[in-house]
Amino acid sequence: MPRTFTDPAFCGPGRMPSRTSRSRSGGDRRCVHHHGDSHEPAGAHVDAAGVPGARDLNKDALGGWATRPFTESRRLRDELRVTQARIAALEAERTDYLRRDRRVAGVLTHDAFREAAAAALRGSQRRGEPAALVLADIDGFRALNGRRGSAAGDEALSVVGAHLRELVRGGDIVGRTGADELAVIMPGAPLTGARGVAERLVAALEQSGPVTVSVGIAVDGGTAHLDGLLADGAEVLERARQAGGGRVGMPGRVQAPAEPSRGAIGALALALAERDRPTGEHSEKVVALAGAVARRLGLDSEDVERIAAAALLHDVGKVAVPDRILRKPGPLDEAEWRVMREHSLVGERILRAVPGLGPVARIVRHCHEHVDGGGYPDGLRDEAIPLGSRIVAVCDAYDAMTSDRPWREAMLPAQAAAELRAGAGTRFDPRIVDALLGYVADCTPVDYAARSAA
């Protein structure tokens, strides 16, 4: 029986034969789709070519189903990459958060600082550059914590850290190295660069408070040895602290001991008394009042001593005031007052020239500020005025009012007390006014005979 088979190439659309042909093997070669020769019922087969657009529709449908899995897969891969990038960013933020001290914003923790500082020193060593260290220690930090609590200590650290971040460069490493100690590694910086940062830090804190710092600086000699650099800086810092604090220690420089500053205070007070004896006597009485008020407010012995020194020297700048103004028997005119108001700045410059008297100089500068901002030389307000300056201001005013002047007689203590109360909250700190008047009342002898008669 002849074989019949289908040749797709032979019977494709447009190529269907009109008759049966025989294959080489002897079988009939015919198209099984030919209705006349097949056993399919008429109309059972419909060629797609006979339906307009059918071939294109099938092609588009198949193409859409074929590309849809690829498009979905690409979208999922893109979303995965975005998610992974976000996770990596969050991990980096978390790591950075854990590396930074939570009490001092922008400052690395001890361990994070050591890691970053060691890497910075190695980088400077590879480049053949110097690297400097600035090591700052808060003066009287333990006493501050004991007197005002850990919150005050944290605030002091935050203030010092904020000043350091403002002074250093973007690539410098700032971190904690102790309870009251902050350090800066300055890659590529020479000794002069570190000294500039340290001196500006000391000056800024003396101006703004609430604490002062002793600073030691050191320079890496190319060893990239962090512990050795920190030890060198600590040695210099300790010398600065022993010399009275509030200063910058330099490598190889032995600081003057703190004791001579006491002699300098006495010498300056004597010079003021010789220049104008009434001013010298006034200063001695202000010392007694200021020391008593400071103790009444619960300040420690170191603060009391510093405030007493400022009270003794608060008028030392008057040595630069001409005699015609200083000893004028009547009130000063506006031009004379402009000259007189310079004495607080002159006094500050004199005291800053004496090693160890930087904190005293700051108090002297602001003794004529008012709590409402109406004083001089800087127009400071409220807590921005150093506490010592506020104490000296009240005591100075009380003694001036209760002392004779060339143009008026002394007020009675009750009159002076009324004047202080009237100025509380505008010119004077109310808390300090209360402390002074309480001390004066406690020290005033009681006239029991007058009380009995009343």
pLDDT in tens, 203-250: 888 767 678 899 999 999 888 899 999 999 999 998 888 777 788 888
> Which amino acid is residue 244, in one-letter code?
G
Confidence tier at 122 by pLDDT (50, 70, 90): very high
Give the pLDDT of residue 96. Answer: 56
Tell me what the mean pLDDT of segment 410-427 comes to.
94
Q: Which of 148, 112, 134 is nearest to 215 (CA)?
A: 134
The more confidently predicted of residues 388 and 354 is 388
Q: Alpha helix (H) ranges present in 209-259?
A: 226-242
Q: How far apart are CA 32 and CA 36, in angstroms?
A: 9
End-to-end Cα separation, the chain, in angstroms: 155
Cβ count within 10 A of residue 332: 15
Confidence tier at 414 by pLDDT (50, 70, 90): very high
Q: Which CATH number fits domain 110-249: 2.60.120.560, 3.30.1330.10, 3.30.70.270, 3.30.300.30?
A: 3.30.70.270
The structure's pTM equals 0.55
Q: How far apart are CA 27 and CA 5, in angstroms?
A: 8
Kindly report the average pLDDT of the chain as a whole number. Answer: 79
Q: What percent of the chain has pLDDT over 70?
A: 74
Give the pLDDT of residue 344. Answer: 92
Enumerate long-range contacts of 146-149, CB under 8 Å, 24 or more apart.
147/298, 147/299, 147/300
Decide if 110-249 and 260-448 have a common fold.
Answer: no
Q: Parallel, antiparallel, or unpaired for β 181-187 and 248-249?
A: unpaired
Which two three-digit tokens encode residue 303? Answer: 């603060």
Which two three-digit tokens encode residue 24? Answer: 């080489």
Length of the chain: 454
Q: Parallel, antiparallel, or unpaired for β 173-178 and 21-22?
A: unpaired
Tell me what the mean pLDDT of segment 271-300 comes to.
84
Identify the weakest region by mean pLDDT among 47-61, 183-197, 326-340, 344-358: 47-61
pLDDT in tens, 34-86: 444 444 444 444 444 444 544 444 445 545 555 566 687 888 888 888 888 88
Which two three-digit tokens encode residue 438? Answer: 């309480």
CATH code of the domain occupying 260-448: 1.10.3210.10
The more confidently predicted of residues 20 and 295 is 295
Q: How far apart are CA 369 and CA 383, in angstroms?
A: 11
Contact by Cβ (8 Å): 371, 382:
yes
The DSSP 8-state label assigned to residue 243 in this structure reads T
Q: In this model, does residue 252 exceed pLDDT 90?
A: no
Which two three-digit tokens encode residue 233? Answer: 């800086």
Confidence tier at 94 by pLDDT (50, 70, 90): low
Q: What percent of the chain has pLDDT over 90?
A: 37
Q: Which of 254, 360, 256 is nearest to 303 (CA)?
A: 360
Which two three-digit tokens encode residue 299? Answer: 């300040």
Ranges of each domain in the chain = 110-249, 260-448
The more confidently predicted of residues 44 and 302 is 302
The more confidently predicted of residues 143 and 51 is 143
Give the pLDDT of residue 241. Answer: 82
Which two three-digit tokens encode residue 81? Answer: 């990459």
Cβ count within 10 A of residue 241: 20
Give the pLDDT of residue 219. Answer: 93
Q: How far apart are CA 287 and CA 301, in angstroms?
A: 14
Give the pLDDT of residue 7. Answer: 47
Residues sharing a CB contact under 8 Å with residue 15, sequence separation 6 or more, in sequence order: 9
Q: Buried b / exposed e across 428-437, counting CB within 10 Å, b at 16+?
A: bbeebbbbbb
Q: What is the distance of C-alpha 74 from the center of its chain?
A: 47
pLDDT in tens, 342-372: 999 999 888 887 877 878 888 999 999 999 9
